[in-house]
Structure formats: structure tokens, C-alpha cells
Structure 1
Amino acid sequence: MEYQTIDYWDEQIWNQAAPIYRQGFDPDNSKPTTIIRRSIERKLCQLHIASNQSDIIAMALTGKLEGINGLLIDYMAVREDSRGQGIGKMFLDYIIGWSRSALQSTGAVIEIESEDNATNLQRLHFWQQYGFTLTSYVHTYIWVPEKYQALYLIWQPDSQIPQDGEILFEHISLFHNRAYAKK
């Protein structure tokens, strides 16, 4: 497995990663390509890919949460035909290792849909198996109907990452606001 982190827009790589992104996330509730491109060009986020030979089999979009020195895993998906083989865990190992060295982050945060259904429960199980802790606060965005909860993973004892979901969503929302800002 080969891993790569890309902090510049590469149309060819995105065109290979985008089908995995679309498989993993509802297109009505995920970021459009124009927002992703603008976020990468502004250095707000990075695209991570995992490939087996020349085929991309996993992708993730991450960004730094300002003020708390944490990594936001905005999206992470493994290609449908490659799921259940431990690729997600290995890919997450890579992303966290990258975050620790490149960003000197002290932990990571992710938000997941909180609706009680099989897909969301599988996602929650994946993150909790990895060591993430689910917060109890349920957040509602004004622009999407789903409700979300935050999970966090702290790997450095002096981390500034809050363990309160409501406070975490303040930081997550700031990240999203910067991503959607026109300037």
C-alpha cells in the first residue's frame, strides 16, 4: 500500500479519488468539488490517498482545527470493493502519523451522522474501535437535515482538544465556514 498527502489541487488525482468520495458520502450533504478545490488551493485542507499499485482505494480530506492544534478528518472513505480488509485502519494510521509529524497535532476530531441506522452504526464502530471517543452533544447544521456528533482521539496528554462536543462543533464549524467562504 502506498500513501500520499497532496496539499495542492491535482485534477487527475481528484478525478480518481472522487468516485470513492461519492461512494462514501451522500452528494446532497457533502462538499461540492468546487469547495474542496478552493479549500485545497487555500491550504485549508489536504487530500490523502491510499493506492494499491496504480489504483486509488481510499481517500480522505483533512484540515487543521485552529486554536486547539487538532486534525479534523473531514471525510474518509475506502472504495466499496476494498472494505473489510483493514485498509481503513492502515490508512488512518498513516493520516495520524502524518498529522503528528507535519502538523504537530495533539489529537484528531471527526464528525459523524448521528441517525441510528446500520451505515452510521458501522462508521461509529470503526472510529470507536480505533480509539475515538463519542461525545453526547448532537449538533444540527442549518444547511443539512442530518444531525451530527463529534468524536475525538487525543494522543498527547497536554492536548488542547476539548472533550465537550458542543465546543468541538464550534471549532468544526469555524473550519467549515472558512472552507465555504468566497474569499
Structure 2
Amino acid sequence: MTLTLTTYHAWDQELWDQIRPIYTEAFVHGAKPEKILKAMLDRGIAFLHAGWDEGELVAMAVTGLSGPAEAQNLIIDYMAIRHDRRGRGEGKVFFGLLRDWAIEQHHIHAIIIEAEAEDTAENRERIVFWEKCGFIATDYVHHYIWIPETYRALVLPIAPGLVIHDDGQSLFRQITSFHEKSFLKSKA
């Protein structure tokens, strides 16, 4: 396995047509519609990442930045490995490539992700995966008004001495702000 990362700052429909099967299979619930993802890239608030293994697409992610310019954090909105490639360590490798890109290109202070909080085997597996990548799960469980699932924030501190001074609510303010920007109509 020689996984490589390519990051796209603009929408590429041909690329999306390749990524879409991974995205739709992994995110049956809670997936943003294609037109929203496209608008996010068009407005410059998100990045589309593709993971390649010798020219074969095996992973995808949608990320964005949050916080003030001097202390930006990376929000991982979506990250998935192609179903037939899971369980082989490629998720951790792909995440490492995303982390390194964000540190090098944006000098981030932390990486934030939300994971479903309901106590199911599948959700526990996701949280264990992120913890193996170095993330710390917070205690706060967030209830969005527009979806029934509850979520827990996880954070990977990058900057030395970065401390979360609450139970994760401040992380959800950043996540929520990112989601709100995602759904704003672009100004013509």
C-alpha cells in the first residue's frame, strides 16, 4: 500500500463522480447533498481530499478550517475508506496524510471531528478508531435540532499546551459554525 493524498480547492465533477460511491456508501445518514458540497468548495470554505493507491481511489474526505487565522483548527466533516479496503490500516494512514497536510499548509492548532454518540457497536468502533489516531473524546453530547442523532466531539491537539477548558461544548460551537456556513446560500 502506497497511499497518497490529493487535495482539491475547487469542485471537479469528474472527480466527484469517482468519489460519490465511497461517500454515499459510508454516509447513509447525515450526508450533505452534492449541491451543498459543491457550494462549500465554490465559496472556499471546504477542501475535498482523495486518497489514491497506485492510481486507484480508495479514500475521501471533506474538511474545512475553523477559528481565528492565528489559531485555526481543521474540522473533518466527512472521511471514509472504500468499503472493500477497510480493516487494513488505510484509514489511519489516510488520516495521517490529512493531518500532515493541515499542519504543513495551515499550521493548525487542533483537529476536530464529531462522531455519533448513541451507544452502539458501530459507533463505539468509530470512536475507538479516532482514539487510536490520537483523538480525545469529550463528555458533552450535542443534540442538533434538525437531525435525531446525537454527537460527541473528539479533538486531536496539535499545538503544544492546547487544552480544552470545558466538556466539549466549545468544540461544538466551531463545528456548528462550520455547518452553518456550509448551508448558507452564496451571494450572487
What is the Cα-based RMSD across aligned positions, in Å?
Answer: 1.4
* CA deviation after TM superposition for structure 1 residue 87, in Å: 0.5
Counterpart for residue 95 of structure 1: 98
Aligned to 1:133: 136
Aligned to 2:21: 19
Query: Which stretches in structure 2 are left out of the alignment for 5+ residues?
Result: none
State the number of aligned residues: 182
Does the 8 A contact of 2:62 with 2:76 survive in 1? yes
Match of 1:46 in 2: 47
C-alpha distance in structure 2 between counterparts of 1:45 and 1:159, whole Å: 24
Runs of 4+ that moved beyond 2 A: 158-164
| Letter of the 2:101 counterpart | W
- Unpaired segments of 5 or more residues in structure 1? none
What are the residue-to-residue correspondences of 1:11-90 with 2, within 5 Å? 11-26=13-28, 28-67=29-68, 68-90=71-93
Alignment match, 1:170: 173
List per-residue Cα deviations over 1:64-106 (Å, max 9, x = no partner).
Answer: 0123410001100000000011100110110000000111101
Match of 1:149 in 2: 152
Instruction: Give the Å deviation of 1:162.
Output: 5.8
Say if 1:50 and 1:162 are closer, same or farther in 2 by CA, change over 3 A.
farther
- Give runs of aligned pairs for residues 94-133 of structure 1, distance below 5 A: 94-133=97-136
Give the aligned partner of residue 9 of structure 1: 11
Moved more, 138-147 or 53-62: 53-62
What SS does the aligned partner of 1:35 have? helix
The whole-number CA distance in structure 2 between the counterparts of 1:38 and 1:160 is 33
Q: Which amino acid aligns with 1:16?
A: Q
Partners of 2:22 and 2:80 within 8 A in 1? yes
* Separation in structure 2 between the aligned mates of residue 104 and residue 133 of structure 1, nearest angstrom: 20
The secondary structure found in structure 1 opposite 2:146 is: coil
Which amino acid in structure 1 is aligned with residue 67 of structure 2? E
Aligned 8 A contact 2:4 2:97 in 1: no
- The separation in 1 between residues aligned to 2:165 and 2:144, in whole angstroms, is 20
TM-score, normalization by structure 1: 0.94
8 Å CA contact 2:48, 2:60 repeated in 1: yes
Once the two structures are superposed, what CA deviation does each residue of 1:9-64 show, in whole Å capped at 9, x if it has no partner? Answer: 000111111111111112x4211111100001111010111112332110000000
SS in 2 for 1:138: strand
The amino acid of 1:133's aligned partner reads I
